[in-house]
Structure 1
Amino acid sequence: MRPAADQILRIPLAPLLAAQGLGVRRRANTLPEPPGARQGQAGKGAPLRLLIVGDSSAAGVGARSQDAALSGQVVKNLAEGFDVSWKLIGESSITTTGMLKRLATVPPSAFDVAITALGVNDVTRASSRAKWVKRQSELAEVLSSKFAVQTIVASGLPPMGAYPELPQPLRWVLGAHAKRLDDALADLAATHRQLTHLPLNLPFEPRYQASDGYHPSEEAYAIWAAMFADHIRAQLHLS
């Protein structure tokens, strides 16, 4: 496959991209992971065991507490119809490779559904499409074998080319690569028995962005959580 324009221009633009990336990384790492429970039980109804894995967005960076972050809002949404037993494994700056290593240290347990929020750090580290697909396939295998997950919902990558705080040409390069990896994830999910792809279409108004201009705000987490919950309900209905 012939390299795309952004891949070709990475080489001559490397010094500028590196400098811009360093500045963005410093801003993106200013907010901590919020306090709060990372496992628990909530709601009444049919039992649902939920595992949440991912990077800083899964860990809730940008929210004041886990209750207002992705995990808390997904659980709150699903608890309206399910008895949800849940666990969060999230870590800032982690890649899919890093998450595989992290999960290797977690004792085996059983979950019905897993949601994943990974990819931004794979994009910023210029993970190739082939490596990304391989690692995502390995992640799905670990979730299904070690954690008995029957339904895996992988969040799509955000449209990084629309991030207002990313300077050009870094925004263009990361945006093109994020779309490339997201398309690959959707293709993988289309042929996988347990993996589904949830397109991520969050608005980019200021109120949907955290103070660093990089992570979601609590309002954005609420929208994202509702998207996950609706997708999970649809998948369980079809299964």
Structure 2
Amino acid sequence: MQLYQLSLPLLAPLLLQQGKRVRRDTLRLPEAEGDRTGQQGHGWPLRLLIFGDSAAAGVGATHQHQALSGQLIQCLTPHHPVDWQLIAHSGLTTANALAFLQSQSPRPADVLVLSLGVNDVTSRISVKEWIFQYEKLLNFARQQLDVSHILATAVPPMHQFPALPQPLRWYLGQRAQHFNQTLAAHLHSANDGEFVSIAGQLTGQHMASDGFHPGPAIYQAWANTIAKRILTRLSK
């Protein structure tokens, strides 16, 4: 059992109080404006689906050009034409992600970029149940959307989130690390899946004004990392 799990009985009252205060006081930022679908470049396109929570939706950036989708398209199109679609919604958990994705009539895609987990870490879901729900989503993407390359983004380093007070920051940071370790191990044996982390490249100073979401610099680093993985796979 992880240390954060052992500490929960002792810390629970304080964590509950701090969690309520964070939800009440944290600045609410909108999802980034801009297109969520498009095709750029000429020739046979790479079909790309970006799916997930508020980070995928670009919260913390003013426009999608500054967010993950826009930055990623800018990285990819000098090398390959891209037919892309962004499906994202603030507050999504992995447990309700599949139903939401199905409701949006996603197009078939070659590459799926996922951003999920923060809302799971802040919920009561177990790591085991989280992986079960994650795999259901991956199987849908493989079987129904023709996805052959999955890039699962790590839960961000929540121990660095300025919006979170201690010990809540420590607790959620440890829980996020546990989720990431489990997801990385789960994807290790999958020929079509990659675990992607940008932890250590940037700090809390690069986050949005709410202290909870990425700022443009983090979106850029995230997009650069994803683009390198995609282009490396295409070159094989």
1:176 partner letter: Q
Structure 2: state its 5+ residue gaps.
Answer: none
Q: State which of 90, 100, 109 in structure 2 corresponds to 1:102.
A: 100
- 1:133-212 matches, cutoff 5 A: 133-201=131-199, 202-206=201-205, 208-212=206-210
1:183 partner letter: Q
The answer to whether the 8 Å contact 2:32/2:57 transfers is yes
The answer to whether the 8 Å contact 1:157/1:200 transfers is no
Deviation for aligned residue 1:29? 5.6
SS at match of 1:82: coil
The answer to whether the 8 Å contact 1:42/1:83 transfers is yes
Distance 1:134 1:32 in 2: 30
Distance 1:91 1:141 in 2: 21
When structure 1 is superposed on structure 2, of 186-195 and 41-50 the one drifting more is: 41-50
Q: State which of 72, 80, 88 in structure 2 corresponds to 1:82.
A: 80
Taking structure 1 as the reference length, the TM-score comes to 0.93
SS at match of 1:40: strand
Cα distance change on mapping 1:205 and 1:19 into 2, 3 Å: closer
SS at match of 2:218: helix
Distance 1:88 1:47 in 2: 16
Other-structure match for 2:230:
232
Distance 1:230 1:175 in 2: 27
Deviation for aligned residue 1:15? 2.1
When structure 1 is superposed on structure 2, of 128-137 and 103-112 the one drifting more is: 103-112
Q: How many residues align?
A: 235
The answer to whether the 8 Å contact 2:26/2:163 transfers is no
Taking structure 2 as the reference length, the TM-score comes to 0.94
The answer to whether the 8 Å contact 1:54/1:116 transfers is yes
Does residue 28 of structure 2 align to residue 30 of structure 1?
yes
**CA deviation profile, 1:132-172 (whole Å, cap 9, x unmatched):** 11111111101111111000000111111122331111011
When structure 1 is superposed on structure 2, of 70-79 and 102-111 the one drifting more is: 102-111
Distance 1:121 1:131 in 2: 14
Deviation for aligned residue 1:192? 1.5
Other-structure match for 1:222:
220
What value does the CA root-mean-square deviation take over the aligned residues?
Answer: 1.5
Percent identity, aligned pairs only, is 40
Distance 2:202 2:76 in 1: 23
Other-structure match for 2:51:
53
**CA deviation profile, 1:175-212 (whole Å, cap 9, x unmatched):** 11100000111011101131111123241152x11111
Deviation for aligned residue 1:222? 0.9
Cα distance change on mapping 1:216 and 1:108 into 2, 3 Å: closer
The answer to whether the 8 Å contact 1:34/1:65 transfers is yes
2:39 partner letter: Q
When structure 1 is superposed on structure 2, of 160-169 and 72-81 the one drifting more is: 160-169
Cα distance change on mapping 1:28 and 1:151 into 2, 3 Å: farther
Other-structure match for 2:89:
91
The answer to whether the 8 Å contact 1:27/1:212 transfers is no
**CA deviation profile, 1:9-39 (whole Å, cap 9, x unmatched):** 2233222111211222345561011211011
